[in-house]
Structure 1
Amino acid sequence: MTDKIHIADWKRGLVFSFISYSMLLFVIIVLTVFWMRDFDFAVVSRIVGAYMGVVIVLLAVAGLVFKRRLSVQ
């Protein structure tokens, strides 16, 4: 009944990295909204799209590197 799901340490690290980068994105959005003194959906969506696009691509590359490096050992 109490089966534990085993996730590799490097995958868990990538998940925590994604969560921390998402929190940083929230701070960037809050600072941008306060700086502009108004919520502009177009600006915020461009920031989110560019930021998350870069984060997802870099985390995917890191995942491939970790997978290849750790599967050899």
Structure 2
Amino acid sequence: MYKMSRDEKERYLYLREEMAVSDEVSRMRTAIKEGIKEGEKRGIKLTKKVFQLSQKGCTIAQIAEKCNIEESEVKEILE
């Protein structure tokens, strides 16, 4: 059986910890990218809905209520 010296054990533990940290950073980056994509999809969907309701003649207040957003957000989308 192979015996590790103290330095080798410390190096192994250090590298293992570094790999764990690197894996966690990678998972976080992936989650952030997925969150951004999901946010973009929701924003596009909301924007389309706001424009459709506007074209149907709904008021800003009606659009805000139907989309569950603030009137200022509706105005910003329509600008």
Please give the range of the TM-score, normalised by the shorter of the 2 chains: 0.3 to 0.5
Whichever of the two has the greater Rg, that structure is 2
Q: TM-score, normalised by structure 1?
A: 0.47
More RCO (CA 8 Å, sep 6+):
1
- Alignment TM-score, normalising by the size of structure 2: 0.44
